[in-house]
Amino acid sequence: MAARFTRKQGFLAAFLAYGMWGVLPVYWRLLSGVNSLQILAHRIIWAAVFCVALLLSTKEMKSLKEALSTRKNVLLVIGAALIVTVNWGLYIYAVTSNHVLESALGYYINPLLSVVLGALFFHEEIDGWTRLALGIATAGIVAAAVLYGKVPWISLLLALTFALYGAAKKELNLPPITSLALETFTVTPLMLIFLLVVHARGAGAFGNEGLGVSVLLIMAGVVTAIPLLLFGVAATSISLQTLGFIQYFSPTIQLFLGLFLFGEKPSRAIVVAFVVVLTAVGIYVASRMRKASAAKG
């Protein structure tokens, strides 16, 4: 199924998506008293409900069947659903347990991984400057691991899962609403079973922690779906390298939130990782700008 959006629309959608993701930690902090897995379950379920409403309003329900017409698409949808579920859950945990800086680091690393996946799966060229940036970023992660005494798993897993998710979305090349609906529908049954068990034990937050919490849990589906729909537009209409470049908008916002709003104190390992990874980012961004300028000239 061909992409339906222009490159200009893809650029705009990418900036909007990453801007929303940048400020999303503020929303999840409002739910910091709720178990991360419960937040994740509600996020998926209500996103699925939101998708149903969109599909019905646009009369696109039939697109679901068409999208699953091949075995390849079925496998890609299942894979994308599982990958993004892990990413969402880990991100919620990071934000609600005072690891916003580590999540920001992960999303600084992610675009560089997207470059690698773009080369591996979509034959996108990696030039010498990009290889240098990747090498420096890798060195930064190794240095951070040494200083930590352990691998910074939160950062690396967030980076890897979202890079893989972006690659899967690009390969699927489905309309954004269709793609997101299928992904959320895939894991919604498991989330419903989980919440039923939790509520049967009397530990469910929804309906028991006040109206405000319940409304926030419902709206989690909306704040999840909108940027993902925008991301779906971007992923199918611009290259992974370009998408990776724009993504720096999100972790930069997260970095400032972690430092100045949430008052997180960065460890020496995080400082080293940020300095080295940001150096790599600077090289990568400068090389992209130089290449774009040369193309115009």
For position 296, what pLDDT does the model report? Answer: 67
Taking CA atoms, 269 is separated from 32, 65, 93, 145, 258, in Å, by: 25, 48, 20, 7, 16
For position 277, what pLDDT does the model report? Answer: 82
Q: What is the DSSP string of 166-226?
A: HHHHHHH---HHHHHHHHHHHHHHHHHHHHHHHHHTT---TTTS-HHHHHHHHHHHHHHHH
Burial of 171 (0-12, 13-18, 19+ CB in 10 A): middle
For position 2, what pLDDT does the model report? Answer: 44
Q: Is the pTM of this model over 0.95?
A: no
- Residue 59 sits at φ, ψ, to 5 deg, of 55, 45
- For the chain, residues with pLDDT lower than 70 are 1-4, 148, 240-241, 244, 295-297
For position 210, what pLDDT does the model report? Answer: 92
Quote the Cα angle for 29-35-39, to 5°.
70
For position 137, what pLDDT does the model report? Answer: 82
d(CA 162, CA 198): 28
Q: What is the DSSP string of 217-250?
A: HHHHHHHHHHHHHHHHHHHTTS-HHHHHHHTTHH
Written in H, E and C, the secondary structure of 31-83 is: CCCCCHHHHHHHHHHHHHHHHHHHHHHCCCCHHHHHHCCCHHHHHHHHHHHHH
No. of H helices and E strands in the chain? 12, 0
